[in-house]
Amino acid sequence: DVKVTQSSRYLVKRTGEKVFLECVQDMDHENMFWYRQDPGLGLRLIYFSYDVKMKEKGDIPEGYSVSREKKERFSLILESASTNQTSMYLCASSLRGRLNYGYTFGSGTRLTVV
C-alpha cells in the first residue's frame, strides 16, 4: 500500500524553538506539499515542491521554510515557533502529469506551541 508518512502524530514545542516536521513518501511522486488545517479556515498551502531541491511558496509561507534534498523526503521547518502556528500540519504528494491525479495525504502532525 502506498504511503505518505509523517514522523510525528502529536508534537508539543515551546515558543521560539526551531521545529522540524518530516514527511516521507514511497510512491516515487514528483510533487510534495505542506498544508496546515485550522477550523473554519480549511486547508492552506504553506510550501510545495515539484522536484528535488525545488521549492515554491504557497499561500502562507511566512514563518516557515522547507527542504527537499531527496525525492522521497520533504521537510517543513518552523524557524522560531509561535503560538499562532499551533495547528494540524498535513503533508501530501502527487504524481506529475498534465492532469492532476489528486493527492495522497499523510496522517498529519498536530502541533501545539506553548
Partner 1 sequence: QKEVEQNSGPLSVPEGAIASLNCTYSDRGSQSFFWYRQYSGKSPELIMSIYSNGDKEDGRFTAQLNKASQYVSLLIRDSQPSDSATYLCAVYSGGYQKVTFGTGTKLQVIP
Binding site for partner 1 (CB under 8 A): 30-31, 33, 40-43, 45, 48, 50, 56, 58, 90, 94, 96-97, 99-108
CB of 100 to partner 1, least distance (A): 4
CB of 29 to partner 1, least distance (A): 10
Residue whose CB is less far from partner 1, 18 or 96: 96
Residue whose CB is less far from partner 1, 42 or 69: 42
One-letter amino acid for residue 108 of the chain: G
Name the nearest CA neighbour of 6 among 33, 30, 31.
33
Name the nearest CA neighbour of 91 among 42, 38, 28, 31.
31
Through-space distance between the first and last CA atoms of the chain, rounded to whole angstroms: 36
Residue whose CB is less far from partner 1, 18 or 101: 101
CB of 34 to partner 1, least distance (A): 11
